[in-house]
Chain A
Amino acid sequence: MSLRTLKVLLALIRHSMLAELEFRANAITNAVNTVVGMLLALYFLDAMFAEVGSLGGWNLHQVLALFGVALILEGLLEVWLFPSLHALSEKVRTGDLDYLLVRPVDSQFLVSCSKISLWELPRVLIGLAVVVYAMYSEGALGAGNLAAFLGLMAAGVAIFYSVFLITCTLSIWFVKIGDVWIISYTLMEIARFPVSAFPQTIRTILTFLVPVYFVSNVPVTGAMGMVGWPQVLGAILFAVAFLCLSRVFWLFALRSYSSASS
């Protein structure tokens, strides 16, 4: 990322902050929502693990860490992906995308970061806290594991971003398909569970086709110190492949974009 891109990013964040000052109260509501949601999740996990010994080979704390990861992803979605990319279908419909395309900055970058609502950040932080707590309960809290977690999480986020960008880019062809992003929410709901808990066929799909495994499962194995080289290599490979795919798809979509404005 060049220095100029970084400056643009900072300007975008500052601008979004100013535009959203009035929604400060939402930050508190969101934090309360997240904490209550997490307590309910704990209640559910407690009930589940009272009945079964393990979930696809994962114990209570490991699955709890997965819930934390899902929370981080959900938070990033609210902070960054949703505000920016959800606006895309509206921009296509009104033709406002034109104004974005003529700017001297990479269009994918502008579309991906056009709006960042930092008030939704509590969810990411609470998610991180849940992961750290789960690591501590498992006696896996250490600098090495944390670094592994953050590195693998970055790869997971890259994959998640690519999937989200691709689904939102579909709106260039199907203007009315404004709600495709909901599919990403469903993926997140699945990401809260170990892929190994599913029947074999679904397991393969969730590993290779819709790589939920690399988005949420692998980061947690990193946090718990159970990660092996094949998983690390796989995560890097998938992250790079998905980033390239989303790039190619975006450029391809732009070619068939016919402006709606005059």
Chain B
Amino acid sequence: MVALASLPGIAGRLIRTSVLVTVIYRAQLFVWLISGVAPLFMMLIWWELSRDQVIGGYAASDFVAYFLGIYLVRQLTAVWVIFVLNDEIRHGTLSGRLLKPVAPFWFHVAEHLGQMLVRAPIVVTVFCIGASLFDLDLLGIARQLPFFLVSLVLAWIIIFHIYYCVGLLAFWMANSVALDALVWSMYTVLGGTLIPVDLFPEATRSIVALLPFASALDFPVKVLIGKAAGIELLYGFAAQLFWVLVLVALRRGLWRQGLKRFSGAGI
């Protein structure tokens, strides 16, 4: 175990390493920025559709705010840990990580946080430019920031853990990345990237809203644009907390069971 006092130092160094790696591979950063624009195209489609009608309680400006928010949250909570884990488990390089005094989980967390530090300013700039182009009420959005930041952190924990758990399945199956497409399509459709969760048919809407995908994407966006208030805000946070607890427990269980099977092949 590591002494508690040295933890901030270790965390700082791990995150700094990740920042440096990101800066070195800045061409990738550019590519990643372009690849995330799909929600902005959905925004244009819904904006065009809602020019002279309100659709399901969303006016044109609501759609713009919603999909700009989706872009922001999705880019800020981007997770690629499934590829890292799958590789480390299959190639046995996890053994090296296991020898270090900090649990591998925290390495992965630090790597993601470091990259986010570099990406966040760019993503936020794109959001602000978009918001001012479409004349959104930036002051109103700023007022939501305290609640939004809390929901964003919870959302990140949820989506990170979903991918982490799927990645850990590499202990049991040959290639857990094969499941990435499955998670991605559920996250995309049920998270609200194509259509706000509010617009799903009434019969199934409440179920979709309770799934972890909506908790990880749709809910923080609604908090940001002021579409979640009162009791809905409370329910949303409760759902987020619920999924955080469930997924953390699941991750720890999978990790413990998987490690028993791990033989460090390749080393």
Contacts and interface: CB of A to CB of B under 8 A. Distances in A.
Interface of A: 22-23, 25-26, 29-30, 32-33, 36-37, 40-41, 43-44, 46-48, 50-52, 55-56, 174, 176-180, 182-183, 185-186, 189-190, 193, 197-199, 202
A173 to B, nearest CB: 11
Given A40-B188, A186-B34, 13 more contacts: A22-B174, A23-B175, A25-B175, A36-B185, A37-B181, A37-B185, A41-B185, A43-B189, A47-B201, A52-B55, A193-B41, A198-B45, A199-B47
B48 A198 contact: yes
B103 interface: no
B248 interface: no
Contacts of A22: 174
B28 A177 contact: yes
Contact of A33 (B45, B181, B188, B200): B181
A199 B48 contact: yes
Interface in B157-183: 174-175, 178-179, 181-182
A199 B195 contact: no
A50 B186 CA distance: 20
A26 B175 contact: yes
A185 B35 CA distance: 8
Contacts, number: 95
Given A50-B201, A51-B55, A52-B49, A33 B31 contact: no
Contacts of A189: 38, 41
A67 to B, nearest CB: 11
B228 interface: no
Contacts of A29: 178-179
Nearest to A34: B181
B154 interface: no
Contact of B199 (A36, A51, A197, A199): A51
Nearest to B48: A199
Contacts of B27: 174, 176-177
A209 B8 CA distance: 50
Nearest to A175: B27
Given A48-B195, A183-B31, A186-B34, A55 B45 contact: yes
A33 to B, nearest CB: 4
A55 B49 contact: yes
B230 interface: no
A131 B190 CA distance: 24
12 contacts: A26-B175, A33-B178, A33-B185, A40-B185, A40-B190, A44-B194, A51-B56, A56-B48, A176-B28, A183-B34, A186-B38, A198-B41
B160 to A, nearest CB: 20
Given A52-B55, A183-B31, A186-B38, A197 B45 contact: yes
Nearest to A50: B201
A186 B201 CA distance: 27
Contacts of A26: 175, 178
Contacts of B105: none
Interface in B38-85: 38, 41, 44-45, 47-49, 55-56
A89 to B, nearest CB: 11
B195 A36 contact: no
Nearest to B24: A176
Nearest to A52: B49
Contacts of A46: 201
A204 to B, nearest CB: 13
A179 B189 contact: no
Contacts of A52: 49, 55
B37 interface: yes
A186 B175 contact: no
Contacts of B48: 56, 197-199
A216 B37 CA distance: 19
Contact of B31 (A25, A51, A180, A193): A180
A43 B188 CA distance: 12
Nearest to B55: A51
B242 interface: no
B235 interface: no
Contacts of B175: 23, 25-26
Residue in B45, B201, B204 whose Cβ sees the most chain A Cβ within 10 Å = B45
Q: Which 10 A-B pairs have the closest CB atoms?
A: A37-B185, A182-B35, A40-B189, A29-B178, A33-B181, A189-B38, A177-B27, A33-B182, A179-B31, A47-B200
